[in-house]
Amino acid sequence: MNVFKIILHLIVTLFLTVLTQIGGVVYLIIIVTLRNKTRKIRFTYFSIVYLVFTYLVIPLVAPIFGREKIYNSKNLQPRSFFYTLTNRNYVVPEMNAILQSVSNSFQKDNPGIQVVYLDANFPFFKGFPLFPHLSHNDGKKIDLSLIYVDEKGKLTNKKPSVSGYGVYENPTNKEYNQIEICKRKGNWQYDFPKYLTFGTIHRDISFSNEANKELIQLFLSKKEIGKIFIEPHLKSRLKLNNSKIRFHGCQAVRHDDHIHLQLR
């Protein structure tokens, strides 16, 4: 194996590790054990082994590390299969219980409307980073999609981006603009998720003040919740004065495209 191929394999291994945590290990196993096989065969075996680990093995092993897969239901769903396929759907049991409770309560007042989650945590090892987040590394954090209404003013499960990130509920001219302050300070990354939408869709929907406030208040009612991050202009707009709602800092990214939750 020449140097170029070694470097290429290392790059792929790193990418899969950053993206999925376990993908790099599976890739190396396949490359070593099937090094004399064609790329098509290796890719086929990689896909099979990866899927078996992701959907059958890891959910059984993760509890050893204090985490468990989020229990999906008609009331609680990932934004897309990407979050389950890449093992970004793991939390500690306390967070899982809160997600189930709040999603059930929210659905009672808003029939048919789901609580939709985005990035949570990887299944293994406290401190293992979940790129591009700064703090999703202990099973105690999760991002949730905002709630929207359609052009008729009715609540909808539609979202404005494919990924769930990157389409912002910008401050009005009369609202405090933390975004511009952070960008003027040189925090170029603050606006970066706008490049992570994977496509913008459903341009006819709009942010629901009432539903987002209700959802956040349901989480605030749980004593286990330690912090909630949203942009300051949304905190003011929704008249949320609870001390658990914090500003995340200019070193992070904007939080007017999602809600960040974390346990104490």
Tell me how crowded residue 216 is: count the other CB atoms within 10 A of its CB: 25
Report the C-alpha gap between 140 and 148 in whole angstroms.
26
Residue that the structure tokens 């999609």 belong to: 145
Residues 6+ apart with CB under 8 A from 49: 26, 29, 30
What is d(CA 186, CA 208) in angstroms, rounded to the nearest whole number? 31
Residues of the chain with pLDDT under 70: 1
The domains found in the chain, sorted by start residue, are: 3-63 (no CATH), 68-263 (3.30.1380.10)
Candidates 173, 178, 175, 172; CA nearest to 231 is 178
Q: Determine contact, residues 124/185, Cβ cutoff 8 Å.
A: no
With both helix axes pointing from N to C terminus, report the angle between 209-220 and 93-109 in degrees, rounded to the nearest 10: 140
Over the stretch 37-79, which tens digit does the pLDDT of each residue have?
998 999 999 999 999 999 999 999 999 999 999 999 999 999 9
Nearest to 140 by CA among 83, 66, 192: 66
Question: For the whole prediction, is pTM greater than 0.95?
Answer: no
Q: In this structure, are strands 258-263 and 68-69 parallel, antiparallel, or unpaired?
A: unpaired
